[in-house]
Amino acid sequence: MPTTEALNKARDGGLDLVEVAPQSSPPVCRLMNYGKFKYAQKRQKSETPKKHHVSKLKELWLHPKTERHDVEVRLRQARKFLERGDKVLVTMIFRGRELAHIDLGRKMLDGFAVELADIGRIEQFPRLESKRMGMLLVHQKTEKPHEPTAPLPQPEGGQPVS
Burial class (CB in 10 A: 0-12, 13-18, 19+), 92: buried
Residue 106 predicted with pLDDT over 70: yes
Give the mean model confidence (pLDDT) for residues 98-127: 91
Architecture of domain 57-139: 2-Layer Sandwich (3.30)
- pLDDT confidence bin for 87, thresholds 50/70/90: very high
Give the tens place of pLDDT for each residue, 113-159.
999 999 999 999 999 998 999 999 999 874 444 454 555 455 565 55
Specify the pLDDT at position 4.
86
Burial class (CB in 10 A: 0-12, 13-18, 19+), 126: buried
Give the tens place of pLDDT for each residue, 28-81.
888 888 889 899 988 887 776 666 667 789 999 999 998 999 999 999 999 999
Q: What is the dihedral sign for C-alpha 74, 106, 115, 145?
A: positive
| Lowest pLDDT segment from 3-7, 72-76, 89-93 | 3-7
CB-CB contact of 115 with 75 (8 Å): yes
Q: Indicate the domain borders of the chain.
A: 3-49, 57-139
Specify the pLDDT at position 52.
66
Q: Which residue has the higher pLDDT, 16 or 46?
A: 16
Record the pTM.
0.56
Which fold, 3-49? Ubiquitin-like (UB roll) (3.10.20)
Q: Hey, is 151 helix, strand or coil?
A: coil
Alpha helices by DSSP H, listed for the chain, are 3-13, 34-47, 68-84, 102-115
Specify the pLDDT at position 22.
81
- pLDDT confidence bin for 162, thresholds 50/70/90: very low
Specify the pLDDT at position 132.
93
